[in-house]
């Protein structure tokens, strides 16, 4: 058998063009369904692991997929706001620990996540360099953001302009980098974290400006009473928080006017989770979702689509098999004199059969190897491709 395989190998090596065509056809037929299966399995497990680690999510009623994926992966979906008053209600209810998230803005096209210090404990995130944001206007970088932008504690970066053409929007906020997170192999690596008040400064809900109590410029002061001072838009608002102006930052909004994107809730026990579900089942404006259930529903839709592609891959496999049969039949006719010569010099018909089977087997093994390498490479490189899109 070793000699038959050696002859088959010599034949395959000698006929390079024929071998290359067969190998490419088989490789492409195998690599497409294999890669699709590996990608769906890889990202499905990634989605499920992060969803399973997030007990409950509270947000405004709307698209449940957008709410869960925005909360877990900081995507680009636009959510209706839920307000800080809801956090206070959850906290006072004593059924779970609320972790607010503000996910409206970006910085250098990376998601800017406004949250509390509880988030870092909840996700088990560790600071590799510097500290967590301890002061208004400070930011904490995910490991991938720090590597991509070549930034470290002590540097600064600006929030992205909300509208290039609307001059009434606030200016980008200059944020001071307080620290860099250790790598966690999660979406947190590609995010920038600030506290909620810093996020509200970017949105113009909270602001700091020059002292208007002693201001005498009539072009700025519209009205003055013993209780309040009314100014116009000529007043200078700060776009950087410094030790000198930090005390001037304030907000005029009430808790039910301070927006959030979502609230992660850690129920204290199963009973608390059940009570929370019942409570939000009666709410007119907000909803409570179990991320694991939503992601499972999403993946079921993905697998339905995958079955359609599996059917198309099956048709491609059948056409490739028919192509191989045609090649084998044509090759057998072309090699008729070669086979007759082998029979005349003493080879059995089974030897001739195993010789051709060995040639096809070698091509198949090479194709399987190439398909495996290509599939693994595509799966490993998929996150990079996604970032470039």
Q: Tell me, yes or no, whether 10 and 119 share the same domain.
A: no
Asked if residue 146 lies in contact with residue 152, where contact means CB atoms within 8 angstroms, the answer is yes
Domain boundary among 289, 317, 351: 289
Q: Does the residue 222 lie in any domain?
A: no
Separation between Cα atoms, residue 323 and residue 312, nearest integer Å: 17
Q: Tell me, yes or no, whether 123 and 260 share the same domain.
A: yes
Q: Tell me, yes or no, whether 361 and 277 share the same domain.
A: no
> Hey, how many other C-beta atoms are within 10 angstroms of the C-beta on 52?
13
Separation between Cα atoms, residue 18 and residue 362, nearest integer Å: 13
Q: Tell me, yes or no, whether 127 and 188 share the same domain.
A: yes
Q: Tell me, yes or no, whether 312 and 379 share the same domain.
A: yes
Q: Tell me, yes or no, whether 39 and 120 share the same domain.
A: no
Domain boundary among 259, 289, 319: 289
Q: Does the residue 219 lie in any domain?
A: no
- Per-residue pLDDT tens, the chain, 389 aa: give them: 667 777 777 877 887 888 888 888 888 888 888 887 777 777 777 778 889 899 999 999 988 999 999 999 998 888 999 999 999 999 998 899 999 999 999 999 999 999 999 999 999 999 999 999 888 889 999 999 999 999 999 999 999 887 655 555 567 888 999 999 999 988 999 999 999 999 998 888 877 655 544 544 444 554 455 445 444 454 556 677 888 877 877 787 787 889 999 999 999 999 999 999 999 988 888 999 999 999 888 888 777 777 777 777 777 778 777 877 777 777 777 667 777 777 777 676 677 677 777 878 888 888 888 888 888 887 777 666 545 43
Which conformational region is residue 154 in: left (phi greater than 0), alpha (psi within -120 to 50 degrees), or beta?
left
> pTM of the entire structure?
0.73
Q: For residue 75, what are its two tokens? A: 């995507």
Give the SS3 label for residue 9: helix
Residue matched to tokens 């608002």: 237
b/e burial code for range 289-318 (CB count within 10 A of at least 16 → b): bbbbebbeebbeeeeeebeeeeeebeeeee
What total of structural domains would you count in the chain? 2
Q: Does the residue 229 lie in any domain?
A: no
- Give the residue numbers spanning the domain of 309: 2-46+298-388
């Amino acid at each position: 058998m070793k000699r038959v395989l050696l002859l088959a190998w010599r034949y395959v090596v000698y006929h390079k063009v024929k071998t290359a065509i067969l190998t490419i056809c088989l490789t492409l037929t195998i690599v497409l369904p294999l890669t699709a299966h590996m990608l769906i399995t890889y990202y499905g497990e990634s989605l499920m692991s992060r969803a399973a680690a997030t007990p409950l999510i509270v947000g405004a009623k709307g698209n449940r997929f957008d709410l869960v994926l925005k909360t877990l992966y900081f995507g680009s979906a636009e959510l209706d706001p839920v307000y800080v008053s809801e956090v206070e209600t959850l906290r006072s209810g004593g059924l779970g620990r609320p972790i607010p998230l503000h996910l409206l803005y970006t910085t250098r096209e990376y998601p800017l996540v406004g949250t509390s210090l509880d988030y870092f404990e909840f996700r088990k995130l560790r600071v590799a360099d510097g500290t967590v944001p301890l002061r208004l206007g400070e930011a904490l970088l995910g490991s991938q953001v720090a590597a991509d932008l070549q930034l470290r504690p002590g540097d600064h970066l600006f929030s992205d302009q909300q509208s290039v053409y609307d001059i009434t929007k606030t200016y980008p906020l200059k944020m001071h980098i307080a620290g860099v997170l250790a790598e966690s192999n999660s979406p947190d690596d590609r995010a920038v974290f600030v506290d909620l008040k810093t996020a509200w400064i970017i949105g113009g809900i909270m602001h700091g400006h020059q002292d208007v109590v002693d201001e005498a410029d009539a072009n700025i002061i519209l009205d003055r009473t013993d209780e309040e001072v009314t100014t116009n838009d000529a007043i200078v608002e700060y776009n950087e928080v410094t030790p000198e102006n930090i005390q001037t930052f304030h907000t005029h909004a009430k808790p039910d006017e301070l927006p959030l994107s979502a609230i992660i809730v850690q129920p204290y026990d199963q009973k608390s989770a059940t009570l929370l579900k019942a409570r939000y089942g009666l709410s007119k404006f907000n909803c409570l979702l179990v991320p694991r259930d939503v992601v499972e529903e999403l993946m079921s839709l993905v697998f339905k689509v995958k079955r359609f592609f599996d059917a198309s891959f099956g048709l491609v496999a059948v056409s490739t098999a028919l192509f191989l049969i045609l090649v084998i039949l044509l090759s057998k006719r072309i090699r008729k004199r070669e086979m007759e010569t082998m029979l005349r010099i003493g080879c059995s018909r089974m030897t001739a059969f195993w010789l051709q089977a060995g040639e096809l087997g070698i091509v198949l093994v090479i194709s399987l190897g190439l398909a495996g390498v290509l599939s693994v490479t595509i799966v490993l490189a998929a996150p990079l491709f996604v970032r470039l899109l």
